[in-house]
Amino acid sequence: MSKESREQMFSFLKKITDLDYVHPEDITEIELYMDQVTSFMDSNLQSVKRHPEDKTLTKNMINNYTKHHVLPAPVKKKYSRDHVLTLIMIYYLKSFLSISDIEEILKPIDERFFGQDKDINFADIYEELVKMETEEIDVVISDIMKKYKLSQKFFKDHEFEDHEEEETLHQFAMICNLSFDIYLKKMLIETMVDDIIAAREASTSDKNRKN
């Protein structure tokens, strides 16, 4: 990679190291209206937007999530802390999963913990996820660096016509290597979602037979 590309890579690694997570205590316990929710999301997820002008979640998107049962319905048009935490999870998941898969992933959690006053509540689950992901950052960075080094060996014995040609292939190798990793992990997630669906359908079938 060129000096510029290398600097971009290390700049990105620093960015994910310094990633600013939203914690439950950052969210007011006072229930919010839609405009307040979208403003909160835009403000607090600014650091993970691809472009500064991008919107995190629009009103139409949030209404659509409620319509498709991905997000529990607001109470009298007001959204609780659990609603906002769910929307943050949806924001990250929607970048690589379908809405129907996200629904299947969140449904068991929502049914058992959303809005519930238990020893383990929804905020506790979210906070534990943040802690787990924070502890994984070093592993992620190490894996990215490994892929970076592998990409530099792409056609390493070839005599390129110019540096730009070499740079283009190295970047392509890096993108493909990262993409393959994403593809496999996405496939595993989809398999797990299919297992969740199959288990639920089997349980429903058993109950129907007993009745």
For 175-197, the pLDDT digits (tens) are: 999 999 999 999 999 999 999 99
More confident residue, 125 or 19: 125
Question: For the chain, how many helices (H) and strands (E)?
Answer: 7, 0
- Residue 72's pLDDT is 96
Q: Which residue shows structure tokens 């639920």?
A: 200
Q: Say yes or no to pLDDT of 47 above 70.
A: yes
Where does residue 86 rank: exposed (0-12), middle (13-18), buried (19+ CB within 10 A)?
A: buried
pLDDT in tens, 160-175: 777 788 888 889 999 9
| 104 CB neighbour count, 10 Å cutoff | 20
What confidence category does residue 89 fall into, taking pLDDT thresholds of 50, 70 and 90? very high
Q: Where are the domains of the chain?
A: 3-210
What pLDDT is stored for residue 205 in this prediction? 74
Hunting for tokens 């969140």 — which residue is that?
Answer: 106
Rounded-to-integer distance, Cα 7 and Cα 47, Å: 19
For the cut 80, the answer to whether the pLDDT of residue 81 exceeds it is yes
Taking the C-alpha atoms of residue 9 and residue 144, their distance in angstroms, rounded to an integer, is 9
Tens digits of residue pLDDT in 99-154: 999 999 999 999 999 998 889 999 999 999 999 999 999 999 999 999 988 988 88
Residue pair 189/97 in contact by the 8 Å Cβ criterion: yes
Backbone angles phi, psi at 75, to 5 degrees: -100, 115
Residues in the chain, overall count: 211
Band (pLDDT 50/70/90 cuts) for residue 157 is confident
pLDDT at residue 46, rounded to an integer: 86
Where does the pLDDT of residue 209 fall: very low under 50, low under 70, confident under 90, or very high at 90 and above?
confident
More confident residue, 58 or 50: 58
Q: In sequence order, what DSSP letters do the residues of 47-89 get, joined into one string? A: GG-SSTT--S--HHHHHHHHHTTSSPPPBTTBB-HHHHHHHHH
